[in-house]
Amino acid sequence: MAIQPIRLFGDPVLRTRATEVVDFDRELRTLVQDLTDTMLEAPGAGLAAPQIGVGLRVFTWYVDGEVGHLVNPSLDLSEDLQHGPEGCLSIPDLTYDCTRALSVVARGFSMHGEPVTIEGSQMLARAIQHETDHLDGILFLDRLDGAARKAAMKEIREADWFATERPTVRVSPHATNGFGL
């Protein structure tokens, strides 16, 4: 399988809700392997498909020595909260304290289409919530209070990796039949 480039903050795929997986086929198994390889190489505690440019509801995690994945997740969150440091592979070198549910019950499917239930607390709960947010186009920055978000955005704008130039949008000279600008 292959290590894929990780999309960085500013890429529109990170702000787009991912589509439900309907085909549990070889392509999905390859995607899960690519996500796992990329996450472990980075290294990270989790990686969602949109972070490698794939708009499907799939993510992997690596917490406390355990590697796992979940397809089409739905979450039941505890009322008890945890507040602690969180970062993101799509926002390199940035860590801020973020509030999350203390524990989670995540339901979904394996890459083979088998029903899966994952129960976790602390770091596993944080990772599952973080990656599920990615599938909904939400970044952990969105969960910060106003002052922390402002500080984080300042740090991002000053980061070497952050693109200071906006990409050029080109309009097709051909008729797009309503499918473009």
Hey, what amino acid is at 165? E
Q: Catalytic: which of 131, 155, 158, 165?
A: 131
If one counts every other C-beta atom within 10 angstroms of the C-beta of residue 156, the result is: 18
The candidate with the shortest Cα–Cα distance to 39, out of 83, 95, 82, 1, is 1
Backbone angles phi, psi at 155, to 5 degrees: -60, -40
Residue 56's alpha-carbon distances to 20, 87, 99, 102, 175, in angstroms, are: 6, 22, 26, 26, 29
C-alpha distances (whole Å) from 86 to each of 2, 37, 92 are 26, 21, 11
* 131 classed as catalytic: yes
Q: How far is CA 139 from CA 14, 28, 32, 114, in A?
A: 8, 24, 21, 28
103 within 8 A of 128, measured Cβ to Cβ: no
Catalogue the active-site residues: 131
